[in-house]
Amino acid sequence: MQRNFISITDLSKDDILSLLHDAARFEANPNQRLLEGKVVATLFFEPSTRTRLSFETAANRLGARVIGFSDPNSSSTSKGETLKDTIKMVSNYADVIVMRHYLEGAARYASEVTDVPIINAGDGANQHPSQTLLDLYSIWKTQGTLDDLDITMVGDLKYGRTVHSLLQALSFFNPRFHFIAPDLLRMPNGYRDFCNRHNLYFDESEVFDVNAIAHTDILYMTRIQKERFSDLREYEQVKNVYTLRNAMLAATKPNLRVLHPLPRVNEIAYDVDENPKAYYFQQAQNGLYAREAIICRMLNIDLK
């Protein structure tokens, strides 16, 4: 059976939970030479240093060798080679391919042209499933469960693919969603429909204040990008309204954790960093364990 990790929507509830348990094993012991003699290819048709380093560190800590490129200008893509041909060529060398591409659907297509497992490290604005898995791992680890949680998502809910994928993945776990965004960046219709179809509770608000986060378990902040606004004055207003400050966390639940996919710009004030409820840096670190789990799963490595 061919294994691929393309879209979070391909995963069942059991798939998600067993990957989280695997990630916990790697957190307990990140250096396990399970992939001795294996070659992991990292093909970055679009630069993404953060994601690439995380995957390459995961491969290295598992004892695999890494080949690939971090900049498409240095590969034959710049000579006009099709995606299919690049994937076919690399398939001759690697045991698993991690790929990032600016075109949406590129990873699914790649999985159709090769028998080597494909791990999607981001395809345009579509999916970035390893990010979603590390988000889930961070929630699971800090809350002790994924079930019945209050999840508040703040910021750019329209274009933010991380919130969309997280919403889909959490649909198995009876969450209560609270969407806080300016009208221009509210959660798209399709995802509100998704919640309705799956009988998931959600409410929406444009107000981000102490009351809005008083009862939440997870506060998932996202970056509001300047480019989304045609009127820059509107951006300047919005950007300060959707900023989390340390004082706002005083009255929140003790188990609350603040997540952010990073990079952050100004949506989380620096005074939050020292608050024990700030979790975004550990969240990024969890990416390593999640990616070790994903790579081993793709190669059918038994962790027992």
Partner 1 sequence: MSEKKELEVSAIKNGTVIDHIPANVTFKIVQILDLYNHPGAITIGTNLDSITLGRKGIIKIADRYLTDEEIGRLSVVSPDVTLNIIKDYQIVEKKYVKYPKQIIGVVKCTNPKCVTNHQPIPTKMEVFDMNQKSLRCIYCERVMQYGEIELL
The site for partner 1 (CB under 8 A) is made up of 7, 9, 82-84, 101-106, 108-109, 123-127, 190
Report the alpha-carbon distance of residue 200 to residue 141 in Å, rounded: 22
Question: What is the distance, to the nearest Å, from the Cα of residue 102 to the centroid of all Cα atoms in its chain?
Answer: 16
- The residues that are catalytic are 50-51, 79, 100, 128
158 or 277: CB nearest partner 1 = 158
CB of 124 vs partner 1, minimal distance in Å: 5
37 or 190: CB nearest partner 1 = 190
52 or 164: CB nearest partner 1 = 164
Residue type, 88: K
CB of 190 vs partner 1, minimal distance in Å: 6
CB of 148 vs partner 1, minimal distance in Å: 28
Any idea what DSSP says for residue 299?
T
Any idea what DSSP says for residue 186?
P
Task: List, as one string, the DSSP characters of 256-291.
Answer: -EEE--S--SSSB-GGGTTSTTB-HHHHHHHHHHHH
Report the alpha-carbon distance of residue 42 to residue 71 in Å, rounded: 11
Classify residue 213 as exposed, middle or buried by CB count within 10 Å of its CB (0-12, 13-18, 19+).
Answer: buried
Q: Helix, strand, or coil here: 15?
A: helix
43 or 58: CB nearest partner 1 = 43
CB of 295 vs partner 1, minimal distance in Å: 23
Question: What is the distance, to the nearest Å, from the Cα of residue 222 to the centroid of all Cα atoms in its chain?
Answer: 12
CB of 106 vs partner 1, minimal distance in Å: 5
Q: Helix, strand, or coil here: 234?
A: helix
Q: Helix, strand, or coil here: 101?
A: strand
Kindly tell me the sign of the dihedral angle through the C-alpha atoms of 159, 160, 162, 165. negative
87 or 284: CB nearest partner 1 = 87
